[in-house]
Amino acid sequence: MNEQRVILGSSQVMTVQSLKDDLARLGVAQGDTLIVHSSLSRIGWVCGGPVAVVRALMETITPAGNLIMPTHSGDYSEPSKWMMPPVPESWWETIRRTMPAFDPKVTPTRGMGAVPECFRTHEGVIRSGHPALSFAAWGKDAEWIVRDHSLEYGLGEQSPLARIYDLDGKVLLLGVSYDSNTSFHLAENRVVNPPQTWEGAPVMENGERVWRKYREVAFDTDRFEEIGDDFESARPVTKGKIGVADARLFRQRDCVDYAVEWLEAHPRGREEY
């Protein structure tokens, strides 16, 4: 969506204060632990763009809470699996050999949107070290949330998602739907014997850049919308508007626990991927 269309779709200018008012009405509060998935263009025309959105979230939660966003870099992955777009097979080995190692301070996000990309560079924000599935956090527990993010099973028990679960955090879907709800991936890790796959990425080990192959759950985001629809009929979800964007707020534990039950009741093939 280009900026002109965003302007035409906005009845007024969105500001830091108006966004804070909307967040408060939805139920976001000081001291919350909150993971945010967002689409800037869906919010409407925001004075200050992603900087204003990040500031509104920080000022609402305050340093007494924790703000977390996924800062994934999906191109730091096994090139033979790339589909959007694919690359020629003759390139694969060159990519594995030469792609710069992941650097949490430098490596940009990919496909995550303007708000997480802005957030990861903000003063006081700490980013985890997973090359493909990193998260950035700010607040009183930020260091603990991103510490020791496991390379294998990067959205599982040794991930920031599990730390948000431990803190009984909330999920905010801001202009996006359940297919963006990364916490459902924690549920995929918690089912019995989830389908497995292999991944690879360039990382630093003992001061040297290496291509590291590792195990991962074979994710199935295609089912997340269906899980989300069923979840809303069974567990509390607060709906409202942030700017002109549809927004949903709910407990992460609720969505993870429900998704584990749903996935166990609707198993897919257990074959190796």
Mean pLDDT of 230-240: 97
Residue 208 lies in a domain: no
Whether the per-residue pLDDT at 10 is higher than 70: the answer is no
List pLDDT tens digits, range 105-145.
Answer: 999 999 999 999 999 999 999 999 999 999 999 999 999 99
Whether the per-residue pLDDT at 273 is higher than 80: the answer is no
Quote the pLDDT of residue 84: 85
List pLDDT tens digits, range 174-226.
Answer: 999 999 999 999 999 999 999 999 999 999 999 999 999 999 999 999 999 99
Domain extent for 38 = 3-77+104-193+221-265
Quote the pLDDT of residue 12: 80
pTM above 0.75, yes or no: yes
Residue 118 lies in a domain: yes
Residue 92 lies in a domain: no
Count of structural domains, the chain: 1
- Of 172, 158, 157, residue with least CA distance to 129: 158
Quote the pLDDT of residue 268: 78
Tokens of 190: 């918690």
Residue 259 lies in a domain: yes
Residue 147 lies in a domain: yes
Tokens of 111: 């496909």
How high is the mean pLDDT of the chain? 94
Residue 218 CA to its chain's centroid (Å):
17
